[in-house]
Amino acid sequence: MKVVVNELEGCKRGLEVEIPGEQVTEEFEKSFREYSRHAKIPGFRPGKIPIDIVRRRFGKEVRDEVIGRMVREYAARALDEKKLHPVDSPVLDEVNYVDGRPLTFKATFEVRPVLTVSDYHSIPVTVTRRPVTDDMVDASVRDLAERAAKLELVTGRPVQKGDFVVGTLTCRFIKGKGKPLLDEPMLLEAGAEDNHPDFNAAILGAQAGETKTFETTYPDEERAGTLRGCTVSYTLAIKEIKKKVLPNIDDNLAKELGDFQDLAGLRERVKSEIEKRARAAEAAEGKDKILSYLVERHPVDVPAALVEAEVDRRLEAIVREMIAQGRDPQKSQINWGEERDKLVPAATGTVRAMLILESIAAQEGIEVTEDEVNAWLREEARRRNVSVSALKERFAQNERLTGLRAQIVREKSLDFAFNGANITHEGK
């Protein structure tokens, strides 16, 4: 086999492969003999068909099959011989064969660029300081008290803003299609900004025992989600009015919320959590700036296939978010072609950053351990509320463990650069 490697534009490479004619002929003969053993032709017993008849009957089929198999096999051999690792499937073309002559073909593909990263030690980075104040602690403790609030029955007055209405909801679609509801249990905060204005108008000032019926027409806009362009008749049966009663912010609240001796202990824990988030935000800002610094100083070509994969990932995230919001991506007003084009610059930067971090890992000998992979899976399983074994099996089935290991290596490379950076804090 003869192999010639051609460096094409950017990260593209080309292979020219030539397979000796005698090897091709030998493969043809093997296939004809195999066909003669298993082929079924009227008038001949299986395994007793003359080779010449097999050639006439199955010649083109055998030829196409052998050439296709040899092209795939020798393309893989050529890549292995030249130690080339495509980031996408090679495109095979210009396959030429004349009986008795060599079989030739070409393959084009992309590879990761050869990259030596410099200047990643002592990177100058300015990070905004995020102080933790008593006011921030007070606000967080008030939030905890809000979550510990109880709902108490209200009598003798109408619904006020901030009350909670307990009742049932019935709806039917006058225009458009949707799922009707019949006496669906309802708990609704009166005057909440998330409510449709028609709901707030119906319940504010109402009395327990009243029934309110009204129609709502939703705009023919994407923000209306699945109710876009629909007109719906709602019937609210108000059974009870309740108000939120907040607990006193004192030692008793602290003891109810956890293993705290007093309010001071709760405040100390809250302050510690806020500080942890502040330091994490500072680190995230610093790492973003380090990546920008490295990408700016290493304007290396990136494989188009990796950029396309990153664009696909971002588009899939947009679609998932739309579905989670009840919006139909197929009925949205988004021009997906334009959206894809808009994402290319950011995706290119992300891929370039990934390649830089992988190169730093190679230069510094940074690797990932199974303990680190398992720790990541445990945390992700906790976040998704699934078992570690189920998550690991899902990753293995989808062949995502290799990608996960690469992701952890990149994260460790970024940590390495961040820990060695010359960080300056600005602000209070």
- Domain encompassing residue 59: 2-110
Q: Are residues 96 and 203 in the same domain?
A: no
Pair of tokens at residue 182: 């019949």
Does residue 51 fall inside a structural domain? Answer: yes
231-245 and 211-217 strand pairing: antiparallel
Angle at CA of residue 189, ends 188 and 191, nearest 5°? 125
- Give the relative orientation of helices 263-297 and 336-364 as an angle to the nearest 10 degrees: 90
Q: Which of 322, 313, 358, 364 is nearest to 340 (CA)?
A: 313
Residue 169 confidence (pLDDT): 94
Residue 251 confidence (pLDDT): 96
Q: Quick one: how far is CA 402 from the chain centroid?
A: 15
> Tell me, what CATH number does 233's domain have?
3.10.50.30
Q: State which of 80, 110, 140 marks the end of a domain.
A: 110
Does residue 134 fall inside a structural domain? Answer: no
Q: Say how many domains are in the chain.
A: 3
Residue 304 confidence (pLDDT): 94
Residue 350 confidence (pLDDT): 94
Residue 44 confidence (pLDDT): 73
For residue 152, the tally of other CB atoms under 10 A from its CB is: 10
Pair of tokens at residue 243: 């108000």
Q: Are 162 and 149 in contact (CB under 8 A)?
A: no
Does residue 184 fall inside a structural domain? Answer: yes
Provide the 3-class DSSP secondary structure of residue 188. strand
Q: Which of 214, 170, 223 is nearest to 194 (CA)?
A: 223
Q: Are residues 173 and 85 in the same domain?
A: no
DSSP 221-266: SGGGGGGTT-EEEEEEEEEEEEEEEPPPSSHHHHHHHSS-SSHHHH
Q: 257 to each of 125, 133, 275, 404, how far by Cα in Å?
A: 40, 22, 20, 37
Q: How far apart are CA 318 and CA 336, in angstroms?
A: 11
Provide the 3-class DSSP secondary structure of residue 42. coil
Q: 102 to each of 16, 17, 29, how far by Cα in Å?
A: 12, 10, 16
Kindly report the pTM of this predicted structure. 0.77
Does residue 271 fall inside a structural domain? Answer: no
Q: Which of 217, 218, 164, 167 is nearest to 191 (CA)?
A: 164
Residue 55 confidence (pLDDT): 78
Does residue 418 fall inside a structural domain? Answer: yes
Pair of tokens at residue 410: 């990149």
Residue 428 confidence (pLDDT): 63
Q: Are residues 233 and 291 in the same domain?
A: no
Which residues, in sequence order, are CB contacts of 181 under 8 Å at separation 6+?
169, 170, 171
Does residue 199 fall inside a structural domain? Answer: yes
| Per-run averaged pLDDT (10 residues), the chain, 428 residues | 93 95 90 78 72 79 91 95 93 90 95 91 95 96 95 95 95 89 93 93 95 92 78 95 95 93 96 97 96 93 94 93 82 86 95 96 96 94 92 86 93 97 88
Does residue 143 fall inside a structural domain? Answer: no
Pair of tokens at residue 75: 């393309």
- Residue 402 one-letter amino acid: T
Does residue 60 fall inside a structural domain? Answer: yes
> Tell me, what CATH number does 13's domain have?
3.30.70.1050
> Tell me, what CATH number does 422's domain have?
1.10.3120.10
